[in-house]
Every structure is written in C-alpha cells, then in structure tokens.
Structure 1
Amino acid sequence: MTLAAGLRAPAEAIRRARVAGHLGELLQGRLGPGGPLALVTLPCPGLGAEAIRAPGPLALDQPGAQMLTLPALCDLLAAAGAAPDGRFRLTLDLPPGGGAGASTAARVALLHAAGVTDPATVARACLASEGASDPLMFDRPERLLWASREGRVLAELPPLPPMELVGGFYGPARRTDPADLAFPDISDLLEGWGAADLAGVARRASLSAARCLQLRGPAEDPTAALAHGLGALGWAIGHTGPARALIFPPGAVPRGAAGALRAAGFSRITRFRIGGA
C-alpha cells in the first residue's frame, strides 16, 4: 500500500497533529559560568509542523524540508516507547535552521501523531534524537525556564504580559550544535522576571539578544536599530538562528513595520500576539 493510499484510510484510523514553533527566544544563556544553558521561548502560533499518521508499515513522506531519515524516525518512536509502524506525512511552515524550532516541532508532531503526548516522554525522545530541544511539547512553553541541552524544566514561570510582535528571519539558516555552550550569562536577567511588566520583559529580552550578538555575531545585525526606529519596547532573536522579533504593546505596531523589516533584508515577515493568562 502506498503512503497516499494509507492516508485515504478511514478517518478514525488517521491521526493528525500540529505543533507550533517559536520565533527565537526571549532569553537564552548560561546560568552562571558553569551553569546549564537555559532559555525562555518566544512562541509563534503561526509557524509550526504538522504530521499525519495512517496505518501501515513504517514510512515517512516529507514533501518539503527533509527533517528526519526513516531510521531516525524509527529511533525516535522507539525512544518514546511507540510502535515502529505507521505511514507518516510531515510538513512544515517554518524554516529549518531558522531559530524557529523546526527540528523539535517536527519530532513532537510525529510523536503526537503516533499517540505519544506525555510531555516528559516526548522531551526525552526529542533530546535523544536531537541532542538539544525546545520546550514545544508543553502546552505553555513560554512559562518554563528550559534547559535545552538537558531536556528538562528548571523552573515554572508566570504568564507573559500581553504583547504584539512583528518579525521574520535575517541572515542564513544555522543549525543548532548540541555541543555549543558558548553563550553569555543571563542569571541577572532572570531576577524579577516573574514580576516584570511588558517593558521589563522587553528590556531583558533586548539585553539577552545584544549579549548574544556581541559574543556570537553577526556583528552587523539591524534588529536593534529597527526596534529603536519603529518605537518598539524591545527585540528578541533566535540565539542560534536568524529568527528576529520586535516587541510592542498590543495594537501598537506602527503601519509600515513589515515594510521596514523587509527593506532591511528580513524574510517571511509575520505578526502575532501572545501573552496573558
């Protein structure tokens, strides 16, 4: 039976799952010189991965980006305790290597389609498969301080204040290296995070981004200047990829913001709101 035929199986036999990605991180860095690498993700509901599973022998159709080999999918399922069968189709509307969580979102979507939804189980399987993961297997990933190289929650955080963001991708794709721990210390930025208003969150995100760019580059990044010129409260980046976002109060994104980002070389411009209880 072909994959297309499998996907025409009775509706009750087909599982679908969509998992949202993110647009970089509000914070990412070391918790002290020898501490873990930790992050607070910036969720982006409009970007994500979708997986469909139909009955049959193990197969994987990826009409777009090739995120996993068939042996890697078999290993992922085994790590989660799922049966190594099913005809999967995986599609993404976020760029691999973009700092948008494509690798993790793809794996979480595949596991959800396989019937594995326990966040801790999914996190362990993703970490075994990737070597580093984002907390996209959780319902509210932005409410977690996440150790990305360990696949575990370091602390639970309160809801983010409501905010509106406009962003996209600046520069070439860059895949995450799980062995890369060369990030600045962000311990001070976590102090008072839970009590911070939107301006405080935006200021801390901007500092995290600026420290990362100073240490890791690229040197000629225009995001800070765009944020200042457009009156944003702050800005955020993909600390290991080209995702970029400007942070505004809800309803305060100026007309022409998307055009300004596009003129500066940004691609795949997106605008969205997050935060609140």
Structure 2
Amino acid sequence: MGALWHSARVAGHFGEFLQGRIGRNGPVALVTLPCDCLAVRASWSAGEGFTLYQHGRAVITRARLVELFRRLHGTPPAGRLRLRAAMPPGGGAGASTASLLAVAVAVTRGGFARLPAEVQAGFCIGLEGASDPLMHRNPGGLLWASREGRVLGLLAEPPRFEIVGGFFGRPTWTDPADEDFADIEDLVADWAAAAAARDHAALGALAQESARRNARKRGRPGFERLEALAAEFGALGIVAAHTGSARGLLFRPGTVPSGVEERLRVSGLQQVLRFSGGGGTC
C-alpha cells in the first residue's frame, strides 16, 4: 500500500488595496486584495526521517518548518512534505502566511483548519511576527492589523474588479518591526463608504492614493511608470504590495483594453496575470 498523503491549498492575495498606519502613531493595518490564482499547496505523508521538496521556489525554510512542527506537535518533523507556490516569495502575495497555513492544515489532517481564525492568526504571528488575513473567510472585507494578527474592523467587501498585474523588481520580505508607513486613517473611512456604495471609481482612486503615499514615503521603483500606464489604459487605479513586488491595474469587469498584458511585460513586470478581484479565474 502506498503512503497516505494529506493535502491543503491556501489562496494568497495580490498586494493591498490599502496599507498604512491608522493615525500617525496607530497600528499598521491593511485591506487585502484576495487572489485565488496565487495559492500554496502542501502535501504531507508521515514517515521516518524528514524530506522537503519545494517545487520551483522556496517559500519556507527548513528551520521554520522544524519550529512549526514543534509548536503543533512538540516534536521535530518526520515524513515527506511537498510545497508548490504559485506566487514568488517576497512578492507581497502572501507566500509566507499561505505556506504556514497550508502546512499546518496538511500535517494535522485538516484539524488546524477547524480552529478559530483568531487562533490560526496567532500561530502565524508567533512564527513570523506578521500575518496576512488569509485564514479568514472574507479577507477582503476586513481592516486587518498585520503585526498583531487581529481584525480592527469589518468592512463591506468591495465590488469585483478585473486586475492585470505582475511582479516588478527585487523581492522584498516583510519585516515585522517595520512600521514606517504613511498615515491612511482618512483613506480607510472613505474606503468603507465607497465599498458600501460599490463605487468602483472611488475605490480605485483610494487604492492608488494609498500606494502613492507609501511610494513617496518608502520609495517604490517604477511607480511613476505604473501611474502613466494606468492613465494610458484608462484604469480606475493602481493596486500594489506595500511591501513586496506585486503591482497591478484596476478595471471594471469587462473593460480591460487589449494589449495591457504585453505592455506590462515590456515595462518589466514578471509573471503577468489577469484575474477577478476577490477570486475568480486567471
């Protein structure tokens, strides 16, 4: 009889609609853009010894896995683990959080997934010091304190967008101690109203303003070029990973002009994809 494998798939995200401080001295918070097309799949088979295979790109270190098993089971890992990530590490697409969640679910045969989202978030925070809200059923409808792993507020989920984007420049991993973000308290209030009204144009402008503020504060290579492309193609705005390399243009569904993907590739974006905001197909 062959080895029994247990698998789990956790979807990532594509940057953030908003991210920054809630008030000058407030917590770092975000509104994420879920992306079902970018996911991590973990497959686990118990056994003697420990082997790790990461298809294509490494999204988690062996040392982190040893600590994960210790926290889950109190023992070092024993068995075979396979990981496949659709997103690049350091891309701002949730590779770290998605990999932790997928491995935890696979090695507990689904038991971890049945824990409250707050417990799952605390587990990720304990391992990495920061977390995306991927353990929640509606991550796009939350104002999320990423360094604390808690929900600051419930928001109306935004209407569906069509996003065309990719990854630009060097990967940048989240530093949990980094709180040098722009103040977006005013944008959050406007976002809540625009999301409730399902106002695509207002939401696109707010996402772009959040990215612009943080680009000015933190430095974002190529941001001006992306703004020019948004204007050229009539995009409603820009979405970006505020840490990480994900960049994209926001459109109403069915309004993406021809040629956008190729222009983004020519402009230097890698792994260009097109998806419906909050899920959908690539």
Q: When the two structures are superposed, what TM-score results if normalisation uses the length of structure 2? A: 0.89
Cα drift, residue 247 of structure 1: 0.5
Q: Secondary structure at 2:178's aligned position in 1?
A: coil
Query: Hey, what's the Cα distance between the residues in 2 that align with 1:254 and 1:80?
Result: 48
Identity of aligned residues (%): 48
Q: Are the counterparts in 1 of residues 52 and 80 from structure 2 also a CA contact under 8 Å?
A: yes
Q: How does 1:192-271 map to 2 (within 5 A)?
A: 192-196=190-194, 197-221=199-223, 222-271=225-274
One-letter amino acid of the counterpart of residue 212, structure 1: N
SS at match of 1:194: helix
Q: How does 1:1-277 map to 2 (within 5 A)?
A: 8-9=2-3, 13-57=4-48, 58-80=50-72, 84-114=77-107, 115=110, 116-117=112-113, 118=115, 119-196=117-194, 197-221=199-223, 222-275=225-278
Question: CA-to-partner distance for each residue in 1:83-130, whole Å, 9 max, x for gaps?
Answer: 754432111111001111111111111112123112222211111111
Which runs of 5 or more residues in structure 2 are unaligned? Answer: none
Which structure 1 residue ranges, 4+ long, deviate > 3 Å from structure 2? Answer: 77-86
Q: Residues 82 and 124 (structure 1 numbering): CA distance in 2 closer, same or farther, change over 3 Å?
A: farther
Question: Contact 1:59/1:70 (CA < 8 Å) preserved in 2?
Answer: no
Q: Contact 1:80–1:125 at 8 Å: present in 2 too?
A: no
CA-CA distance at 1:70 after TM superposition: 3.2
Quote the Cα distance in structure 2 between the aligned partners of 1:14 and 1:122.
22
Which region of structure 1 is more displaced relative to structure 2, 116-125 or 64-73? 64-73
Aligned length: 267
1:219/1:55 CA distance change after superposition, 3 Å: closer
Q: Give the 3 Å change call, closer, same or farther, for CA 82–250 of structure 1 in structure 2.
A: farther
Which is worse superposed, 83-92 or 244-253?
A: 83-92
* Superposition RMSD in Å: 1.9
CA distance in 2, matches of 1:113, 1:270: 28
Letter in 2 for 1:235: I
- Give the deviation of 1:82 after TM superposition: 7.6
